[in-house]
Structure 1
């Protein structure tokens, strides 16, 4: 007996397909149609995305990137706000008039390359943290840059010698028992000048060893108070193991901007104090029951840059195999003459000015500078042209 197939293609008497039941009670639910895509995105060829929660890996990535970005943005915003506070504190000095017969105040800025790096690091540091305050006060400055070890000392010493020659001071005669210095470039140049008949003007002695400071004669032109100075700490770290510390400094540039802005404002406002002096005791113990105790003076200038020395690379402290006869200035102890150290001064901001800067930062007080008037926004008043008095 042959069964006749039905119109839907199924044979008569065959069992029903899966999901087909009487009355449709067991029918499979139809799949929900995908949401309608934006025609603009469809014309651009973008797929039809469906919003859903990111996976675990994406959550970790977004959390790390978002936290780092938030910390950087917050730090840079606070850095600009702090720098603006110190710039507003000294901006009124730029509007002060200067007599035509007087020269504007000029300061000397000494930049030295950090050990293990180039001079560009110090230049960027000065341009980013110190220069904005000097520019806000319209203060002129001269740069003394040192690319190698000893360049800064040579540049400053030559500037002092030039000033002493200008005042008419002559050099001392050669003392008895003094060793003849080795010929260098300057001596060869002087010998060539003598051969050609060109003689240099008499000047001060080129170099005095630190051991001869106590017996050296002080220049009669030495002022009672020397020009103030201000050291700036540069947190310049090198090395792979110091990466976490560099990351911390990268996220806290606002603190460095506050410190440098305060010191630069003290330089602009010319507020200074004497360098501190302390008495240090050294007990020299020996096998004998009696102990000898000595007292020596310790000046603030000798320890002011110890924080920076801790961040130097290890290669600076290693002995050099080449040119061991040359002096190691970076690792040498700071030796001061008491007659000079007692006359040195250091810039320090007054408490009144620091309190005013805090009020400016909080928005409770405005800077003393007069805001410029925008003439383009002002309406021009012509008046009555027919009136002769107008």
Structure 2
């Protein structure tokens, strides 16, 4: 401290006998120490790989020479994605920095339309992560819908949730069993009296929530908050930010929202890199089918249909879907499926139901049905 009362900016080692400052002086939270190193590495790589630093002749060479680009990119692991989507800040920031480097590598290879977070958003996300402190609020919330429960499980501590939809407990491949056990109540009418005794600050409901349950909550004096149904990937991000504001977890909500955008960009970029390597290859005739009572293909207005379009997949049932009056799901008969003659068949079914007429030609690829239908951050796994 100087004579005029202002803080001194003198370096710690400039005073004789002064002891060196310890890490708590530099880092505002436990996350900061882990996040600063990957941040510095990312910035170094970004500066190193800026296209302006690559000689023009090298740029021309990279755009005409076919090389295997994907091994140069960061690994993409489903388990690590789930870890990040569950709210692990360290994993989220590591991925975001890795994907920023990936984008620069692909741009320098001459690949067009590579997507990444805007610089301002990228830096803001890193800064928020460095300053993030442990969530200590004692406020408690009731989640009546799957999306609100999934998002708040990632943003808050389990002690901040009084109840969750019972169906969530069936998906231990997505949610941590230990965390779910820490929330003993299910959000159903039979537990309304027990839920009332916990005095939740807000009950998050959906437009499809049981009307009698909502009336009971309102009669008990528990404020309700409607979470809109998302109709796009961006809507999911908006819902995350909205819940963060309602529960005073804005910083973590912004980081999770940015993570989703960065992950989506990275997956789209990888497919762009594959197409760049073999530009003359014909598009694979792909048929994506979901099963709910009957088999159907997703319309382009549905979340899954939008994801298929973004990834540049040629969904051969699109002509049928365009002729249909439905905006969400297009039922297909077995005859229609055979006439489409797909090269690639992707099936999404809770029971892993097979299609007898497609046993090996083409061999079906089964995907996680829960992720395809999810309306929270876990929809990213559908990509």
TM-score, length basis structure 2: 0.23
More helix as a share of residues: 2
Higher relative CO (CA 8 A, sep ≥ 6), structure 1 or 2? 1
TM-score, length basis structure 1: 0.23
Larger radius of gyration: 1
